[in-house]
């Protein structure tokens, strides 16, 4: 596979204290230094972002924000702007994560956030994914609509700067997991949809997989799933398991 494997460590609303967040980052940093094949993006709770990012002196880790508002400033109590996220050290932004969509974020809002991130020279990671699958294949139209809306304000010259993260919600934390073969088909569909909008430049889109990602399934997904990396949730807050996951990727032939 050409290029480094992208791994996004989405800490979600963990750890409970900054002291624990620092411990987790120190453990993550230690293993990241031994994994040059991995391009690691750590997305901590926004309250911890500046303190962690400002003290980091290495080159193996970049930082992301889990969510931000599309407007630069204003009367949006409880929100943070992408400009503020950038000032705190974020180079990436998750947009439209399945948990944000479940809380009410719309396709149109994801489009505004993607455009706002690009305006701040932050790389948006546009998360898409269907909640359930039925035999009729309706999920493909859901994915296509999420892509069209999320990329609505992206100029052709900027499309290569957008990363797409595919999260099949039905495969998160459940008994049914997605096979690499299924992911390969979805990757082809995602690229085909983007190429349909932007032309051949859409082939350059980097696609990540994110649903129940762990040390046991990353290798097969990397080899057979047609992906450039992963969005890792709860495993990224378990230092031992996350270290194993990164080492599995590093040792992949």
Catalytic-labelled residue, pool 99, 109, 130, 167: 167
DSSP string across 45-88 = -HHHHHHHHHH---SSEEEEES--BSSSSSS-TT--BHHHHHHH
10 Å CB burial of residue 226 (0-12, 13-18, 19+) is buried
Catalytic-labelled residue, pool 69, 97, 139, 215: 97
Q: Is 97 a catalytic residue?
A: yes
Whether the Cβ atoms of residue 14 and residue 46 lie closer than 8 Å to each other: no
Q: Is 109 a catalytic residue?
A: no
Give CA–CA dist 239/27, Å, rounded.
Answer: 6
Give CA–CA dist 124/107, Å, rounded.
Answer: 14
Whether the Cβ atoms of residue 241 and residue 235 lie closer than 8 Å to each other: yes
10 Å CB burial of residue 64 (0-12, 13-18, 19+) is buried
Q: Which residues are known to be catalytic? A: 97, 167
């Amino acid at each position: 596979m050409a290029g480094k494997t992208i791994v996004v460590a989405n800490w979600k609303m963990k750890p409970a204290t900054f002291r624990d967040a620092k411990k987790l980052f120190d453990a993550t940093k230690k293993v990241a230094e031994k994994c040059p094949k991995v391009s690691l993006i750590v997305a901590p709770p926004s309250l911890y972002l500046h303190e962690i990012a400002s003290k980091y002196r290495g080159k193996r880790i970049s930082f992301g924000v889990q969510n931000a508002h599309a407007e630069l400033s204003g009367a949006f109590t409880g929100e943070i702007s992408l400009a503020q996220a950038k000032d705190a050290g974020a180079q990436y932004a998750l947009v439209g994560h399945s948990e944000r969509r479940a809380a009410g974020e719309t396709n149109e809002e994801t489009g505004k956030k993607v455009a706002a991130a690009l305006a701040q020279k932050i790389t948006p990671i546009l998360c898409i994914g269907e909640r359930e699958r039925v035999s009729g294949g309706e999920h493909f139209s859901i994915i296509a609509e999420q892509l069209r809306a999320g990329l609505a304000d992206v100029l052709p010259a900027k499309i290569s700067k957008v990363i797409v993260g595919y999260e099949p919600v039905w495969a998160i934390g459940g008994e049914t997991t997605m096979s690499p073969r299924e992911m390969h088909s979805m990757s082809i569909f995602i690229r085909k949809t983007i190429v349909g909008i932007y032309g051949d430049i859409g082939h350059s889109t980097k696609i990540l997989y994110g649903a129940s990602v762990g040390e046991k399934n990353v290798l097969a997904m990397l080899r057979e799933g047609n992906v450039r990396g992963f969005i890792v949730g709860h495993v990224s807050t378990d230092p031992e398991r996350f270290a194993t996951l990164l080492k599995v990727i590093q040792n992949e032939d």
